[in-house]
């Protein structure tokens, strides 16, 4: 399959998904269950992505390394109600420190 065919199929698929989303009736979107799900789904997806990127290696093994320490530091900073940049900075600093000490 050529690259341009793959690009065309992907573009059509993206357009079809967008059209499908726009064709949903407004009454369906106003239901309380749908609104609650729409509010919680991005949080769940981001948490799952974070967990996979932090604790996974690609070969179905659980890994505890510097990334785990950085995530723990970010969690502590969040519990202390630190601003977002401080949370990110704490995660970066702890991850870098653990990697420097380990290697």
- Residues 64, 92, single domain; the answer is yes
- Residues 42, 18, single domain; the answer is no
Distance in angstroms (rounded) separating the CA atoms of residues 22 and 40: 20
Q: Are 70 and 92 in contact (CB under 8 A)?
A: yes
- Residues 40, 68, single domain; the answer is yes
Residue range 62-95, pLDDT digits in tens: 889 999 999 999 999 999 999 999 999 999 999 9
Q: Are 35 and 41 in contact (CB under 8 A)?
A: no
- Residues 93, 60, single domain; the answer is yes
The pLDDT, as a whole number, for residue 96 is: 97
CA 70 to chain CA mean position, Å:
16
Which residue segment(s) compose the domain that 25 sits in?
A: 1-30
Residue range 7-46, pLDDT digits in tens: 999 999 999 999 998 898 988 889 999 999 989 999 999 9
- Residues 64, 83, single domain; the answer is yes
- Residues 82, 39, single domain; the answer is yes
- Residues 11, 35, single domain; the answer is no
């Amino acid at each position: 399959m050529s690259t341009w065919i793959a690009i065309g199929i992907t573009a059509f698929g993206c357009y079809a998904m967008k059209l499908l989303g726009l064709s949903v009736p407004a009454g369906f979107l106003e239901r309380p269950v749908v609104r609650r799900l729409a509010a919680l789904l991005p949080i769940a997806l981001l948490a799952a992505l974070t967990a996979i990127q932090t604790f996974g290696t690609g070969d179905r093994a659980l890994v505890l390394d510097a990334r785990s320490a950085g995530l723990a530091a970010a969690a502590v900073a969040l519990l202390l109600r630190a601003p977002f940049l401080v949370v990110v900075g704490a995660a970066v600093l702890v991850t870098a420190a653990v990697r420097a000490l380990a290697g």
